[in-house]
Structure 1
């Protein structure tokens, strides 16, 4: 894992980005600055055993691993209606022996809108709501896209974001590349994706308009009352020349994919307030896993640390 600054000391750009997130979504003390609306659930991960020759990571071997799962909306507004078009999140913390955890943080879009921390800052400036309309100025966003051609795929994904039938009927991507290390110290770059075993299903605008503002949480409760919710962890292996430092770029679809295991979500956690204090960190790794050279991956940990510090102080 990348070294973190001392408690209470954060890189200025990370502080600036969190400030800007608060400006874009509004300030809601005690809540995450992004993915503010969400809930935590109990789960178990069942490794397939098919990737153990590529990584020594303990949760990707053969034994079942307990997990904490959080489904969320993207916005920093905890009161946003579920029927809005927005990315959704699926974060999983795998709990290993000795009190050790490692996290996977995924969103319902395959690529991100910024390749570097500075680009992220500039995107948030472009996404600032207009004082009269309450929405970003389309011309300003177009200018950002023109100046950052690599962001086109991410911006298009945002525009085409579906309204899901359920948190359980979305596909989620980790966006960034990671590196697996095996017992021979051989390294393999990978990308993760959760595939919903219920299938990908979405709502039309007309059907969504009839839904409750909190229908995603309500629907998931009904679904879990009748059994578990399942996802398959698919892993794409990098081929020669595939970029590992750019979360705005996709790898070719013909790259080898493996099934690393299944996630079963079994029910809501008993103490939601305590679980919501958890920080899911994509850079919290265990032996057998390494960060790629993606600058946005390490930067996310810095941004999360600033956000976590503020919300746990109630600010």
Structure 2
């Protein structure tokens, strides 16, 4: 099947399973965007030393905007860097280190099983079927099943999940992954506390927090080594991999209008390239289709 056609099928299936919500993203439907400033160390190829304006969107993973906060234990943090000359590049992360599908075909097929979600989680019987049918997804599904929501949007560690390449002036490629580490520390909610939260708690807590002062994240670049998979987002790299600090993100109290902003994870600038990860390329196509439907009000 042609790649764009498969991406369209995935978006259609999301709408069928979770409902069609005009004007919303087809995944991570509910969220808020704030202005930010990123101060780079100069260690990253595409982020030179100095300050860069940015937009940050925190979100709940559900495609249904009326799901409660607790029903979306996976939270998102998407950052768009507004570089000189009108260039843009994005880092799209979630508070889970892995994705649940290795290929676009598997992802699209697994969407058909999403009807069995109960309170944002898969029943044990469905989980067993998934583990048998999709062995490559076993580790990721187990991680996601045990996911707990962070205590706040700014108390989660966010992973871009996919591998990228930094390219030097000689054309040498270094595999890397991105990780956002919160200044406030990492803290998770218990299932009991999450269930007791009112709808919109995360947004209200963030708004209240930012009125008192900025919140921040450190951007870590994880350096891959030979043998680390660059084409499989269901697999983590060893935790002992070297990290460098690329800079610091300061989120300020001014909330921004969405205005159709597109956080395409493959938006590249010189010095960085996508890996062989098929899900990464697929996300770009799916985001484009979702963006078109959302901005057209459909």
TM-score w.r.t. the length of structure 1 is 0.89
Q: What does residue 99 of structure 1 align with?
A: 86
Superposition deviation, residue 273 in structure 1 = 4.4
For residues 71-110 of structure 1, give each alpha carbon's deviation from its aligned partner in whole angstroms, at most 9, with x where no partner exists: 0000011122113342110000000112111011111100
SS of the residue 2:177 aligns to: strand
1:167 aligns with 2:123: no
- Correspondent of 2:52 among 44, 65, 71: 65
Q: What does residue 12 of structure 2 align with?
A: 19
Q: What does residue 198 of structure 2 align with?
A: 212
Unaligned runs of 5+ in 1: 1-8
Structure 1 CA distance, aligned partners of 2:113 and 2:129?
8
Structure 2 CA distance, aligned partners of 1:230 and 1:134?
28
Q: What does residue 166 of structure 2 align with?
A: 180
TM-score w.r.t. the length of structure 2 is 0.94
What is the root-mean-square deviation of aligned Cα atoms in Å?
A: 2.0
Q: What does residue 276 of structure 2 align with?
A: 293
Superposition deviation, residue 136 in structure 1 = 5.5
Q: Retained in 2: the 8 A contact 1:73–1:89?
A: yes
Q: Retained in 2: the 8 A contact 1:10–1:306?
A: no
Structure 1 CA distance, aligned partners of 2:119 and 2:178?
37
1:153 aligns with 2:139: yes
For residues 121-180 of structure 1, give each alpha carbon's deviation from its aligned partner in whole angstroms, at most 9, with x where no partner exists: 1211222238x9997564344222212112112211221111221100001100100000
- Correspondent of 1:282 among 265, 272, 294: 265
Q: Retained in 2: the 8 A contact 1:85–1:162?
A: no
Q: Retained in 1: the 8 A contact 2:92–2:263?
A: yes
Q: Retained in 2: the 8 A contact 1:181–1:288?
A: yes
Call closer, same or farther: CA 1:42–1:113 in 2, change over 3 Å. same
Q: What does residue 232 of structure 2 align with?
A: 246
Call closer, same or farther: CA 1:311–1:258 in 2, change over 3 Å. same
- Correspondent of 1:89 among 43, 58, 76: 76
